[in-house]
Chain A
Amino acid sequence: MLVLTCPCCGVEADETELAAGGQAHIKRETVGASDDAFEEYMFMRENPKGVHFERWRHANGCGKWFHAARCTMTLEVFGTYTAQTYEPPADIRAAITAKRPGWSWGRFS
C-alpha cells in the first residue's frame, strides 16, 4: 500500500485516500487530429518497468489531482508535483537522474 505526498495539501496520503488516474503528460488531441494521432492520445500508454509518471487524485482528501514520478519495479517514489504542468519539473527530473542515471520516458529524459 503506497504512500504519496499530496503536493496540494501536503498530506502523506495512504493509497486508500488516493485514486489512480493512469499515465501523466498526455497531450489532448481533438477535432482536426488524424485518426492515428487520436488513437495515440486515446489509447496508447507507456507500460514501463522502472521510471513512470502517473496521475493521482487525492480523492478522499483535498480532492486535487497531482502527478507522481515513481519506479514501477521497486515502488520507489522520486517525487510528486502539480498536475498543472506540461512536463516533469527540473527538481523531479534531477531526483530521478540521481537514482536512475540515463533514464528516459516518452519524450523526457
Chain B
Amino acid sequence: MSTRLGTGGRLIDRATSVGFEFNGRKLKGFKGDTLASALLGADQMLVGRSFKYHRPRGIVAAGPEEPNALMNLGKDGHFEPNARATTTEVFDGLTATSQNHWPSLEMDVGVVNNYAARFMPAGFYYKTFIHPRAAWKHLFEPFIRKAAGLGKAPKGRDANTYEHLYVFADVLIVGGGVAGLQAALTAGRSGKKVLLLEQTAHWGGRVPVDGAMIDGMDADAWINATVQALENMENVTLRTRCMGAGVYDHGYALGYERLGDHLAPTTLPRHRLWRIRAKQIITATGALERPLSFAGNDIPGVMLAASLRDYVVNYGVSAGDRTVVVTNNDDAYRTALALKKAGLEVPVILDARPQGGGALMEDCRAIGIRVETGKGISSVKGGKRVESVSICAQAGEGAVLEEITCDAVAMSGGWSPVVHLWSHCGGKLIWDAAQAHFRPDHDRPPLGADGAGFVSVVGAANGQMSTGGCLNDAHQQAQAVIKTVGGKASREVAAKAGAEPMAPMAAVWKMPQGAGYKLRSKTWLDYQNDVKVSDVQLAAQEGFESVEHTKRYTTLGMATDQGKLSNINGLAILADSLNDEIPKVGTTTFRPPYHPISMGSIAGEASRELFQPVDKTPLHGWGEENGAEWEPVGHWRRAYCYKRPGESTEDAVNREVKAVRESLGLLDASTLGKIIVKGPDAGRFLDMMYTNMMSNLKPGKCRYGLMCSENGFLSDDGVVARLDDDTWLCHTTTGGASRIHAHMEEWLQTEWWDWKVYTANVTEQYAQIAVVGPNARKVLEKLGGMDVSKEALGFMEWAEGQIGGFDARVFRISFSGELSYEIAVPASQGRAFWDALWEAGQELNVTAYGTECLHILRAEKGFIMIGDETDGTVIPQDLGLHWALSKKKDDYLGKRAQQRDHMMDPKRWKLVGLESVDGSVIPDGAYAVTEGTNENGQRETQGRVTSTYYSANLERGIAMGLVLNGPDRMGEVISFPKLDGSDVKAKIVDPVFYDREGEKQNV
C-alpha cells in the first residue's frame, strides 16, 4: 500500500493539516501537498479508469505529464473537469471526484470493454463507419457518444473571473529549475528586462531531489540564494505557478498564471493570462522521464522512477513497501537509493543493459541492493494494485526466470527533453542516438521578424543530463542571448556542480526485446487513450506509415497529455515496425498550449457584459422605459417593437403599422450610418462609390444611392444629401457604417490616393428621428420653428434650422411611403427632442414604432432591404433598380463586373411581389418549385422568398421574392412547399402593394 512516511518531505508542512474530499470520502493531507501526493499518502493509489477499456489506473507521474490522475474538481460554478491531481495543490475544503466510471471507481461496469479489447483494436472507431452501414447509426454511434469523454462538462456558468496582462521583456525565461535560474542570473546581471516563469509553486526543479552540490552548497541553499539575488534585481520579474504555455510568431508567448487554484474560491481572478512580447526567449523546461514498455505497465503501482522518488523526497510519501526498480539508465538507481534511505525495501533493480550502470549502481550494490543486469520485466501481476513482477532476460521472449513479490514498480526508459516551446513556432529537432531522444537543432531555430532565431533552449531541455552541464549551458547561452538583445555580458561565470559520472543509457523500446503478441497487447504506450504497442504495430501493418496518420488512427498522443509520456516510445515502435530509423519517422507536430489552460483564461475579462460592448442610441433609455423588445443589429440594439402592458409582440407590431399609416409614428433612426465626404474631388469620388450620379446633386437635395462591390454585387444603400459645394453626407444601413467607411477609405488610400477627399464617420454624433405619417407636418408645425411646408421643403430635399428650439437638420425622405421627415439633432439633444415630439404628438395618437413595423411599411411599398433582398449574390439589375445605374458615367465600382455574361444572363431571378392565394404569410426563405429534378434528385426551383410579412394595413400576407423571368409572369401562380409537406400558392404581382402612385409621400 502507499502511505505517508513518518519523516521527510521537503515541500510539506507537517504542522498544518489540510482536509479534503475524494469521491465523498473525507481525507487529510498536509499543507504543500499536491492532490496526488495527498491521495497516495492516504493509500488511494487507484484514481481513475482508462478511456477505452476502463482499466483501473493509478498515479504514474508527479508533474504535468501525468496521464491517469484526472479529476473533477470543485462544485457548481467552480466545477472543473480533467484537472491533474499532480498539478493541483491541496487546500482545506478541496473536493475531487474521479472520472470515467459507473457506478463507482472500484466497481466499474465499463470494464467489460477490457475483456472485449480483442475486438476493439486501433482504428475500431473508424472501421465502425464503414460496414455494415446500418451498424454505425443504430449500434455504434449511440454507444460511442455515451462513452465519449473523460470528465463531465460543467453545466452552470463559471463563477470565477479571469484576466489578461500584457508585458514586454527583453528576455523571457521559461522554467525555474537550476538551468532557468542560472540563465536568469546571467541575463539579469546585464540590466536587461528579464521575466522568469515557473509552472510549479517551487523554484529549483528536480535537482534538490536528486541531491547535487552547487558552488559548494547543497542544491536547496544555492536555489534560495539565487532566487534572493534575482529578487533584488529590479529588472528581473519572477513568477511561480505561471507556466510558459506557448511560443508564437515574432517573440509572442503566453504565460498561464494560476492565482487561485491553490486557494479556496475567492473573488480574485482565478487565472491570469500573460500576453508576452519578448525579444528573445530562453526555454529551460527540463526533461520528462519515459515509461518502459512491458506487459502490465499500466497496473496501479507502476510509476516513473523519478516521480516515485519525488513523492518520497518532496512529500514523504511512499508508493509501496517493496519497490522493484526497472531501468535502462543510471538515473533510476537514485530512486533505489532514496527508497533505501527512507527505510523501504528494494527487492531488486532490473537493468536492461547487459553491462549495467556506473557509479550509482556500485553505490546501490554497496548498501546491499540486488542488481540484475541484462534483465527486464516479463509482466506485472495484479489488478487494482501491483502484486508481483516476473523477471526475464531482456534479450529473450519473456520466459519467466523468477517471480518477485512487490507492491510498486519504479520504471525508467530514459529522458525526453521538453522541446515543446522550441517546436511550437517551427524550431526543428535532431535525434540524439546516445541519449535516445530528440533535442533542439540549434541550426534550425524558430525565426523572428528579422529572420534570426529568437528561442534558445538550455539545460535538460537541451539534452544536458548533468547538473553541471545544465548550469554551464544556461550561462553560455544566456550570455549570447544578452548580446543579441543589445546588452553587455557580465564577467561572472556559471555556478559549478560536482561531477556525476554516468554509464551510457541504452535504448529499450520493448521489454523483453522479443515480446510476443500476448505480452505486447498488454503493454501500454498511451495510458490516457489506451493505446498499446500492438495497436501501433497494427496501424503500421494496415498502411498508416506516416507518424501523423498513425497518431490519428490509433489516437496515440491525442489525449489531454498530448503524448508527453508516450510519443517517443510510440514512434520508436512505429519505426521498428516500418524497419526504419527513428529520425526518419520523425515526431508529430507540437502545438500550444504545453499543458491544458482554462477557457476562462483565454477569454480573460471578455465575458458577460464585457464580451461585446453594446452600442446604445441616445433614445435607448426611452425604449427601456416604454416596453421596447430589443433586437441586435450590428453592435446596436434596436427596438423591434414597443409593447404596451398586456400586448403580445404581434399585437404591438400590428398596432404600430396601422397607427403610422393613419396618423403619426416616431422611429429611432439614429443607428443609420452617417458619413461625411468632403473635398474638391468628393463628387468625383462618390460617382465611383455609388452606381448613380452624385456629383450633379444640387446642394439642398437628397438622392437615394446604391453601392456595389468591385465584383458587381449590391453591398449597401442609403440616401445621400449634398450639404454644400464640396460636402456630401452619405447615409448607410445600420450595420454598414463602419464597413462602408472602411470601404471608402480603402479606395481612397490605395487606388485614388491623389484625389483630394476627406471622410469622417459621424454616425454617433447625431440622434436621428423619423417623424412619419399623415400628421407628420402637423406635429412639427406645432413645435414651431423652420418652415416644413411642401413649398419650402419638398420631397427629397433637406434644410437646416430650428424645430421647437432644437438645432436640426431635416431630410424630407421616406422609407415608408408616408409623408416623412428624418430629423437629425446633436446626440446630446436626442432624448429631449424625442420627448418634445412625444408630448406634442399626444393629441395625434403619436406611436413609437420599431424595426418590424419599419420592415412591413417598406415591404408594403416594395422598397428593398439590404440583407433581405440582397445576400452578396444579387446585383441591382436583379432588383429592377436599373434607374439607379447611371448611364452617363464611364465607370463606378462594380460596373465592369456587371458586364460579365453571367451578370447579363436573362435567366437571373428577378424581383417581384408575391401574394399568397389564401392570404397566409409565406414562410421566410421558401423556394418556389418547378417541374423536374436536379442531379441530386431534388425538385428544381424557380425562385425564392426574400421578405415576407403580415400586413395589418392590407389584412393579408405580402412577400417579395426573386423569381425566374418574374417580371414577365405577372398574375401567374407558383407553388412554395412548406416544411410540413403542404404547399402555399402565390400569385406573382408588382412588388408595390400600397399606394402605387406614391401620393401619400408627396403631400
Contact = CB atoms under 8 A, between A and B. Distances in A.
A76 to B, nearest CB: 4
Contacts of B24: none
B746 A42 contact: no
A95 to B, nearest CB: 10
Interface in B263-297: 277
Contacts of B250: 1-3, 75
Contacts of A83: 749-750, 753
Interface in B741-761: 742, 745-746, 749-751, 753
Nearest to A70: B449
Contact of A30 (B249, B277, B749, B896): B896
A84 B248 contact: no
Nearest to A37: B896
Nearest to A64: B749
A65 B450 CA distance: 22
Interface string A40-53: 00100000000000
Contact of A75 (B449, B750, B896, B897): B449
Given A2-B449, A55-B750, A75-B449, A31 B252 contact: no
B840 interface: no
Interface in B846-905: 890-891, 895-897, 899-900
B750 A74 contact: no
Interface in A14-51: 14-15, 21, 28-33, 35, 38, 42
A28 B751 contact: yes
Interface in B223-262: 248-252
B156 interface: no
B449 A76 contact: yes
A65 B248 CA distance: 25
B930 interface: no
Interface in A46-86: 55, 57, 59, 63-65, 71, 74-77, 83-84
A31 B251 CA distance: 47
Q: How large is the interface on B (under 10, 10 to 19, 20 to 34, 35 or more residues)?
A: 20 to 34
A1 B248 contact: yes
B738 to A, nearest CB: 10
A99 interface: yes
A18 to B, nearest CB: 12
Contacts of A75: 249-250, 447, 449
A29 B896 contact: yes
B710 interface: yes
A76 B450 contact: yes
B449 A38 contact: no
Contacts of A29: 896
B451 interface: yes
A38 B900 contact: yes
B711 interface: yes
Interface in B894-925: 895-897, 899-900
B745 A74 contact: no
A77 B897 CA distance: 35
Contact of A76 (B447, B711, B750): B447
Nearest to B751: A28
Given A55-B750, A64-B749, A65-B749, A74 B896 contact: no
A2 to B, nearest CB: 5
Contacts of A38: 896-897, 900
A42 to B, nearest CB: 6
B252 A63 contact: no
A59 B745 CA distance: 11
A3 B277 CA distance: 10
A39 to B, nearest CB: 9
Nearest to A76: B451
Contacts of A64: 749
A83 B745 CA distance: 12
B449 A3 contact: yes
B760 to A, nearest CB: 11
Interface residues of A, number: 29
B244 to A, nearest CB: 15
Nearest to B452: A76
B681 to A, nearest CB: 15
Contacts of A35: 900
A14 to B, nearest CB: 7
Contact of B451 (A15, A28, A57, A74): A74
B746 A30 contact: no
B252 A21 contact: no
A64 B897 CA distance: 27
Contacts of B277: 3, 14
A6 to B, nearest CB: 13
Q: B249, B710, B749: which has the most chain A beta carbons within 10 Å?
A: B749
Contacts of B447: 74-76
B583 to A, nearest CB: 22
A50 to B, nearest CB: 12
A1 B749 contact: no
B822 to A, nearest CB: 29
Contacts of A57: 742, 746
A63 B449 contact: no
Contacts of B896: 29-33, 38
Contacts of A30: 891, 895-896
Given A14-B277, A75-B449, A76-B450, A42 B710 contact: yes
Given A30-B891, A99-B451, A2 B249 contact: yes
Nearest to A55: B750
A41 to B, nearest CB: 9
A62 B750 CA distance: 15
A32 B896 CA distance: 8
Interface string B748-779: 01110100000000000000000000000000
Contact of A65 (B249, B252, B750, B899): B750
Nearest to B899: A31
Contacts of A76: 447-451
A60 to B, nearest CB: 12
Contacts of A21: 746
A42 B449 contact: no
A83 B899 CA distance: 29
Contacts of B745: 63, 65
Nearest to A74: B447
A89 B921 CA distance: 61
17 contacts: A3-B250, A3-B251, A3-B277, A31-B899, A35-B900, A38-B900, A57-B742, A65-B746, A71-B451, A74-B447, A74-B451, A75-B250, A77-B449, A77-B450, A83-B749, A83-B753, A99-B451
Given A1-B250, A64-B749, A83-B753, 20 more contacts: A2-B250, A3-B250, A3-B277, A15-B249, A21-B746, A31-B890, A31-B895, A33-B896, A42-B710, A42-B711, A42-B897, A55-B750, A59-B742, A63-B745, A65-B745, A74-B447, A77-B450, A83-B749, A84-B749, A99-B451
Interface of B: 248-252, 277, 447-451, 710-711, 742, 745-746, 749-751, 753, 890-891, 895-897, 899-900
Interface of A: 1-3, 14-15, 21, 28-33, 35, 38, 42, 55, 57, 59, 63-65, 71, 74-77, 83-84, 99
| Nearest 6 pairs of A and B residues by beta carbon | A76-B451, A1-B252, A84-B753, A65-B749, A77-B449, A3-B250
